[in-house]
Amino acid sequence: MDKLLQLLKFNDKGLIPAIIQDEKSGEVLTLCYMTKEALEKTLDEGKVYVFRRSKGRLMLKGETSGCTQSVKSLTIDCEGNSLLFKVDQLKAACHEGYFTCYFRKVDKEGKVEILGKRIFDPKDVYKSQ
């Protein structure tokens, strides 16, 4: 792990951004942030773990919804500033129930067009929270 960490630059909060892309469809699913610990756990277990900034803790992506992401490959950018994981996405990546978090197409005027359909209803999935 040390040799990998030498290739990477974590920011002043100890985080590195990680782009998550669905391997099969090529769709970009989400952008998350990892600590060294999150990266190590992700590589050890083969499932994406993120540092959830709003909760201040390490979480398995899909911990509540069951929509986990199985890691297929990891590439790093030319400067070691960010990560790109290709994954196999279970059901849907977005807490709003869409396959990808990038389901809102926008233009300069702020007009929003919703792309794709809801795969699950957030009210059912997160009702106990």
Q: Which residues bind to its own copies, rule: CB under 8 A?
A: 1-7, 17, 19, 21, 26, 28, 30-31, 40, 43-44, 73-79, 81-82, 84, 94-96, 98, 101-112, 115
CA atoms within 13 A on the CB side of 111: 3
Q: How far is the CB of 98 from its own copies (least distance, A)?
A: 7
Burial of 83 per CB tally in 10 Å (0-12, 13-18, 19+): buried
Query: Residue 55 or residue 78: which is nearer to its own copies going by CB?
Result: 78
Q: How far is the CB of 105 from its own copies (least distance, A)?
A: 5
Q: How far is the CB of 106 from its own copies (least distance, A)?
A: 6
Query: Residue 2 or residue 124: which is nearer to its own copies going by CB?
Result: 2
Query: Residue 22 or residue 68: which is nearer to its own copies going by CB?
Result: 22
Strands 49-52 and 57-60: antiparallel
Strands 69-76 and 83-89: antiparallel
Instruction: Dig out the tokens for 103 from the structure.
Output: 């389901």
Query: Residue 14 or residue 112: which is nearer to its own copies going by CB?
Result: 112
Instruction: Dig out the tokens for 83 from the structure.
Output: 């990560």
